[in-house]
Amino acid sequence: MTFEEAKQRIAELSKTIHYHNYQYYMLDNPSIEDYDFDMLLNELIALEKQFPDLILPDSPTQRVGGNVTKQFQQVAHKHQMLSLGNTYSQGELNEFFSRTANLLQTSDIEYVCELKYDGVAISLIYIDGILKQAVTRGNGMIGDEVTTNVKTIKTIPLRLHGNYPKELEVRGEIIMPHESFNTLNKEREDIGETKFANPRNAASGSLKLQHSAEVAKRGLEFFLYYVYDDSNAYQNHFQSIIKMKEYGFKVNPFIKTCTSPSEVFEFINYWDKQRANLPFDIDGVVIKVNRYDYQYQLGATNKNPRWAIAYKFKAERVLTQLLSVDYQVGRTGIVTPVANLEPIFLAGTTVKRATMNNADFIKEMDIHQNDFVYIEKGGEIIPKIVAVEKKMRKTNSLPIQFISTCPDCGATLIRNEGEAGVFCPNVNLCPTQIKGKLLHFISRKAMNIEGLGEEKINLLYEKGLLQNISDFYKLTYNQLFGLNKTFSSTDKDLDKSISFKEKTTENLLLAIEKSKNVEFERVLFAIGIRFVGEVSAKKIARHYGSIEALMTTTMEELLSIEDVGDKVAQSIITYLQDKNNIDIITQLKHFGLQFSCVSNSEKLLSNKLKGMNFVVSGTFSSPQRRKEIEEMIELHGGKNVSSVNKKLSFIVAGNNMGPAKLEKAQQIGIPIISEQEFLEMINSPLEK
Ligand code: IVH
């Protein structure tokens, strides 16, 4: 390569890598596979080595990572958060072993092998045994302080046990297990929200949520992988990790000391196969020199420690042919394309279908009919298409055209500006949407009407007995009793039938009757307003207290509610402007469903805390205790709020109250009371 050619290629590579770094670090929206990104970076590193005069002052090789997002307070790391050098080849790993042996002038080196968790790096600072700060990696020097959110992760101790040092920094990875990831994406799909691309993005997005209560529901987990303890209590890395067990950390069992490179390769080969059975994503194995004195001796380059390396697995991908595309309509009308594939074996199962996300995905990937596509499995239940093999494309094959009409009802599909999803606007008549809404209405987190499943709903819909959610309350014994249907299947033994016998019918009617007691916040979730999830429904219900108040609301008022953004607010307004929806609500009200919060005055034990706002902060004897205190505040007429500002009346503080909250409260002079003082307050002999 000539000097001029190298100059041009370096400029090109820097630009591309900057772009992908931005997508990855700033937008949490990776636009390239890890492997391909690493290949670009390696090419740039090699070129810069060959032509050092061409290194740009802002070359992506000169810095550790991306920028820091502004939302959270920024904190400098005491020890820089380095990243790891990585390799995909066993040959390069052997080079690492010989380099290390050379530098240390011995081949008697013990290595520690660990899994390379695919999540978000975090630094946890404990002072006097108390978790004081949790900071993301950021650019390696400065990260975002996300302590409040991190505190919700159950495997992270808030207070250390045993004989802990005065100061301790623990580093590790916050990950989202597959189960939590799939539940979260299912919920998001259900309310018409964009799904997360993979568990890493979901974990990272969760840590940046504004409200920690939301984070708590995300099912995040923590795996620790490094300890900084200035007291020099241990001689090596392995000991330090094991010691953490005594301090109350859950130390994972996937860690092994190896005395030779061949043992390391054994570990790698084992996990390359076994990772398919793990309940979370890993993208490789990390190999670390065990002895601390060796680690210090080896030191670090400006980016990576010389005593550790990541061996990355190539994601298992297979090539298969796209046969056709199905379009599925969700209950909120969102149309999702799903690829039907020539069946192929991948990571333990035969794959026949793959997600294609949305119209943009098909366009960006430039997928044509009957293309050969690469598929990979991540945390998702269905694998995804990750690339197209364009060399194998037939010359006359046409690009896949996203459908323009609903596959179910024929309505012209719509796409709102700024949204990735295409949806069917025929909300009241599209059969799939109707059935989806009926199913959502009876689901456990909504009205929890037991005794009905998808098949029964379909049958009742086909019989004309259920056209909208208010029809549940019109069903009679005579209409239901005797209804039955058999579903034929290619496998005779699997034929299924449903029938409404005496007991089934009675139980169903009873369950429907019982649902009339379901509280307003769940009814509001059950009626199925797009983008309104379980949590936002609760907040909206509590804010307005009744459907009447909600019906006369404005965008401004909706937007003043925690967690309600433009999309949710607009969707509620649109829903409540539809006459059909108003009719359904009127009917449901007529049948006796709860459309107002059980009025506080009916539930109130006293008015002692009327007009007072409380924040309950810190840890109490149990998580339930904290909930009980919050309930008591409401039962005595007070209000629970989340932020510390001048409108706050008291903070009820347990142990380990957040330092930021404490400082702010002291600054603006909010009284901080103990649980005992709070109890005295509500038990004082004031008038009821
Ligand atoms: S050690 C100074 N161990 O991989 C060494 N890192 O590419 C610090 N990671 O930023 C890292 N599992 O977020 C280490 N067992 C493990 C890991 C691990 C995942 C992540 C970590 C780091 C990145 C480096």
Segment 600-619, tens digit of pLDDT: 556 667 788 888 999 888 88
- Determine the length of the chain: 688
Q: Is 321 helix (H, G, I), strand (E, B) or coil?
A: strand
pLDDT average, residue stretch 190-194: 82
For the Cβ of 25 lying below 6 angstroms from any atom of ligand 1, the answer is no
Confidence band, pLDDT 50/70/90 cuts, at residue 14? confident
pLDDT average, residue stretch 301-306: 90
Phi-psi sector, 504: left (phi>0), alpha (psi -120 to 50), beta: alpha
pLDDT of residue 478: 94
Has residue 68 got a pLDDT over 60? no
Segment 18-28, tens digit of pLDDT: 778 666 654 55
Give residue 143 CA to ligand 1 midpoint distance, Å. Answer: 16
Give residue 83 CA to ligand 1 midpoint distance, Å. Answer: 7
Has residue 684 got a pLDDT over 80? no
Atom of ligand 1 nearest to the CA of 118: 19
pLDDT of residue 65: 26
pLDDT average, residue stretch 628-633: 84
User: Could you tell me the CA-to-CA distances from 59 to 25, 27, 146, 350, 493 in Å, in that order?
Assistant: 16, 20, 29, 43, 64
Atom of ligand 1 nearest to the CA of 226: 1
Give residue 210 CA to ligand 1 midpoint distance, Å. Answer: 26
pLDDT of residue 41: 84
Question: Best mutation site among 117, 137, 264, 312 for ligand 1, i.e. most ligand atoms within 8 A of its Cβ?
Answer: 117
pLDDT of residue 490: 58
For the Cβ of 114 lying below 6 angstroms from any atom of ligand 1, the answer is yes
User: Could you tell me the CA-to-CA distances from 15 to 24, 30, 34, 303 in Å, in that order?
Assistant: 14, 15, 17, 20
Segment 500-535, tens digit of pLDDT: 999 999 999 999 999 999 999 999 999 999 999 988
Cα separation of 424 and 20, whole Å? 33
Give ∠ CA 132-137-138 in degrees, rounded to 5: 115
Has residue 655 got a pLDDT over 80? yes
Cα separation of 75 and 77, whole Å? 6
Segment 583-601, tens digit of pLDDT: 999 999 999 999 998 765 5
Give residue 211 CA to ligand 1 midpoint distance, Å. Answer: 27
For the Cβ of 351 lying below 6 angstroms from any atom of ligand 1, the answer is no
pLDDT of residue 595: 95
Segment 21-48, tens digit of pLDDT: 666 654 556 777 777 887 888 888 888 8
For the Cβ of 261 lying below 6 angstroms from any atom of ligand 1, the answer is no
Where do the DSSP E strands lie in 477-579?
484-487, 496-499
Question: Best mutation site among 225, 227, 281 for ligand 1, i.e. most ligand atoms within 8 A of its Cβ?
Answer: 225
Cα separation of 507 and 172, whole Å? 50
- For ligand 1, atom 9, the nearest C-alpha belongs to 116
Name residue, tokens 């509001």.
524
Give, as one character, the DSSP assignment of residue 25: I
For the Cβ of 117 lying below 6 angstroms from any atom of ligand 1, the answer is yes
From the list 518, 492, 533, 510, the residue with the least C-alpha distance to 211 is: 533
For the Cβ of 267 lying below 6 angstroms from any atom of ligand 1, the answer is no
Has residue 13 got a pLDDT over 60? yes
pLDDT of residue 59: 67
Q: Give the containing element (helix H, strand E) for 601.
A: helix 600-603
What residues does 499 pair with on adjacent strands? 484
For the Cβ of 619 lying below 6 angstroms from any atom of ligand 1, the answer is no
User: Could you tell me the CA-to-CA distances from 530 to 121, 155, 188, 559 in Å, in that order?
Assistant: 34, 34, 10, 16
pLDDT average, residue stretch 172-192: 91
Catalytic site residue 116?
A: yes
For the Cβ of 84 lying below 6 angstroms from any atom of ligand 1, the answer is yes
Question: Best mutation site among 141, 173, 200 for ligand 1, i.e. most ligand atoms within 8 A of its Cβ?
Answer: 173
For the Cβ of 237 lying below 6 angstroms from any atom of ligand 1, the answer is no
- For ligand 1, atom 10, the nearest C-alpha belongs to 83
For the Cβ of 243 lying below 6 angstroms from any atom of ligand 1, the answer is no
Relative to beta strand 650-653, strand 613-617 is parallel
Cα separation of 73 and 146, whole Å? 8
Has residue 294 got a pLDDT over 70? yes
**Cβ contact 539:568 at 8 Å:** no
pLDDT of residue 493: 57
pLDDT of residue 66: 26
Higher pLDDT, 34 or 634: 634
Tell how far CA 417 is from the center of its chain. 25
**Cβ contact 337:325 at 8 Å:** yes
- For ligand 1, atom 3, the nearest C-alpha belongs to 225
Average pLDDT, whole number, for the chain? 88
Segment 356-389, tens digit of pLDDT: 888 888 999 999 999 999 999 876 777 889 999 9
For the Cβ of 145 lying below 6 angstroms from any atom of ligand 1, the answer is no
| Catalytic annotation, pick one of 116, 151, 377, 661 | 116
Q: Is 320 helix (H, G, I), strand (E, B) or coil?
A: strand
pLDDT of residue 665: 87
From the list 437, 261, 257, the residue with the least C-alpha distance to 332 is: 437
Taking residue 423's Cβ as centre, other Cβ atoms within 10 Å add up to 23
Give residue 28 CA to ligand 1 midpoint distance, Å. Answer: 18
Sign of CA dihedral 273, 278, 281, 284: negative
Has residue 277 got a pLDDT over 70? yes
For the Cβ of 10 lying below 6 angstroms from any atom of ligand 1, the answer is no
pLDDT average, residue stretch 428-449: 94
Give residue 116 CA to ligand 1 midpoint distance, Å. Answer: 6
Has residue 353 got a pLDDT over 90? yes
Cα separation of 359 and 683, whole Å? 60
Cα separation of 446 and 451, whole Å? 14
pLDDT of residue 685: 62
The percentage of residues in the chain with a pLDDT greater than 90, rounded to a whole number, is 56
Phi-psi sector, 670: left (phi>0), alpha (psi -120 to 50), beta: beta
Q: Is 351 helix (H, G, I), strand (E, B) or coil?
A: strand
What DSSP string runs through 218-285?
Answer: T--EEEEEEEE-TT---SBHHHHHHHHHHTT----S-EEEESSHHHHHHHHHHHHHHGGGSSS-EEEE
Question: Best mutation site among 24, 87, 116, 252 for ligand 1, i.e. most ligand atoms within 8 A of its Cβ?
Answer: 116
User: Could you tell me the CA-to-CA distances from 651 to 86, 666, 680 in Å, in that order?
Assistant: 48, 11, 14
**Cβ contact 511:587 at 8 Å:** no
Give residue 249 CA to ligand 1 midpoint distance, Å. Answer: 18
**Cβ contact 496:512 at 8 Å:** no
